[in-house]
Homo-oligomer: A and B are copies of this chain.
Amino acid sequence: MKYGIVIFPSKKLQDLANSYRKRYDPHYALIPPHLTLRDAFESDEPAEQITEKLDEIAKKYEPFNLTIRKVSSFQPINNTIHFKAELTDELRGLHQDLYDQLPGGEPEHPFVPHVTIAQKLSNDEHSDVYGSLRMLGVDHEELIDRFHLVYQLENGSWSAYETFRLGKDPQ
């Protein structure tokens, strides 16, 4: 089974991200807007076993502020345009723990927490879209108190398996 671990931010931020994703992100229909804490990984462990580890990780961290003040791009690595989140101790710690305590190896890139709003653009499209989105800008803050374990269906879309509330004792 292919798992991922993500934060689904507030409806407000998801709606804003979708207003761009609709045109610029071919993954638009596969998963709602999200901030990836742990990239997709294959595991034969049943979801219940992964859940136990995630319960333990979730209770180590208190709810924290997600602050987004910038539209950014991963160019030249790729053409993904995103809302860049400020890196907090909680985000850094969650990301680290989710790699240390789950199977599937090390992160491929340094952790840049973000919500994708455009990807798989040609270079020309990227220049155009990035230029206009950067001018529009973004200024958003919200409290994050949970993350989600999701898994991928055969059609490429993602289904939510379980929610983990930060700072709470597991059920």
Question: Closest B-chain residue to A157, C-beta based?
Answer: B32
Copies in the complex: 2
Whether a CB of chain B sits under 8 angstroms from the CB of A87 is no
Nearest-neighbour CB distance to chain B for A36, whole angstroms, equals: 15
Question: 8 Å CB contacts to B: which residues of A135-171?
Answer: 146, 148, 151, 153-155, 157-163, 165, 168-171
| Interface size class of chain A, counting residues whose CB lies under 8 Å from the partner chain | 20 to 34
Nearest-neighbour CB distance to chain B for A45, whole angstroms, equals: 14
Whether a CB of chain B sits under 8 angstroms from the CB of A52 is no
Stretch at the interface among A14-22, A91-99, A118-126: A14-22
Bound-state Cα–Cα, A110 to B170, Å: 36
**Contact between A159 and B32 (Cβ–Cβ < 8 Å)?**
yes
Whether a CB of chain B sits under 8 angstroms from the CB of A109 is no
Bound-state Cα–Cα, A15 to B2, Å: 14
**What 8 A-B pairs are tightest by C-beta distance, nearest first?**
A160-B160, A29-B29, A168-B171, A32-B159, A163-B163, A15-B154, A162-B163, A18-B155
